[in-house]
């Protein structure tokens, strides 16, 4: 009887874990204060890990334009700086925020610098990667071949892992907190915008 109860409890626990929502997570803002993802319930979200000294850093301009275009319709971007890729997000939260606002006039929410892979990864990123794994780089983008070669040298099996591959990977979340798409850094902003439009 005890064994049966243990098995039942295990299934219940796994079920609860499997059904967890983006809104179950809490993150830190630039000042280190807790922010519940429930605050963004009902919005379409684009969650992105960023860096200030990356070849993809100019994407901040595209992201800000996207934010300004759709923010009034219930869309926002959540920016998580990360220094795990080429050490390309140096500096404090304040320095990163100042760089973004001065150079790209970013207005969307920016959070505490985090890890998105490894043993110290932020729990929200473990969730995002579990919901949307890596599906490959855009073959039409010339940067993809170079990125594939670099990744393959580091890990020949990288394509079969859900890890974030580089800065400016993006996750699209609908109004119910469901992670519906993952975009790699080479995916065009037009492709992302088209899907956002279907949700708003």
Query: Which residues are known to be catalytic?
Result: 54
HEC readout, 160-196 = HCCCCCCCCCEEEECCCCCEEEEECCCCCHHHHHHHH
Radius of gyration of the chain (CA): 18
**Which residue has tokens 């926002």?**
76
Q: Is the CB of residue 62 less than 8 Å from the CB of residue 48? A: no
Here the tokens at position 135 are 């599906």
What DSSP string runs through 78-106? Answer: EEEE---STT-S-S-HHHHHHHHHHHH--
Distance CA 100, CA 154 (A): 30
Longest Cα separation, the chain: 65
């Amino acid at each position: 009887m005890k064994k049966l109860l243990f098995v039942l409890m295990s299934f219940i626990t796994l079920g609860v874990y499997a059904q967890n929502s983006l809104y179950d997570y809490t993150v830190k803002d630039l000042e280190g204060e807790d922010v519940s993802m429930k605050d963004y319930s009902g919005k379409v979200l684009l969650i992105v890990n960023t860096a200030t000294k990356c070849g993809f850093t100019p994407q901040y301009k595209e992201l800000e334009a996207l934010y300004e275009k759709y923010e009034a319709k219930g869309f926002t971007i959540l920016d998580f700086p990360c220094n795990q890729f080429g050490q390309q997000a140096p500096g404090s939260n304040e320095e990163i925020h100042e760089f973004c606002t001065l150079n790209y006039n970013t207005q969307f929410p920016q959070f505490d610098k985090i890890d998105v892979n490894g043993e110290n990864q932020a729990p929200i990123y473990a969730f995002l990667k579990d919901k949307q794994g890596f599906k490959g780089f855009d073959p039409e983008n010339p940067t993809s071949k170079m990125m594939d070669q670099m990744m393959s040298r580091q890990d020949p099996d990288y394509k079969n892992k859900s890890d974030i591959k580089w800065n400016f990977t993006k996750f699209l979340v609908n109004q119910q907190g469901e992670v519906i798409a993952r975009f790699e850094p080479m995916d065009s902003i037009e492709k992302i915008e088209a899907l956002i439009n279907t949700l708003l």
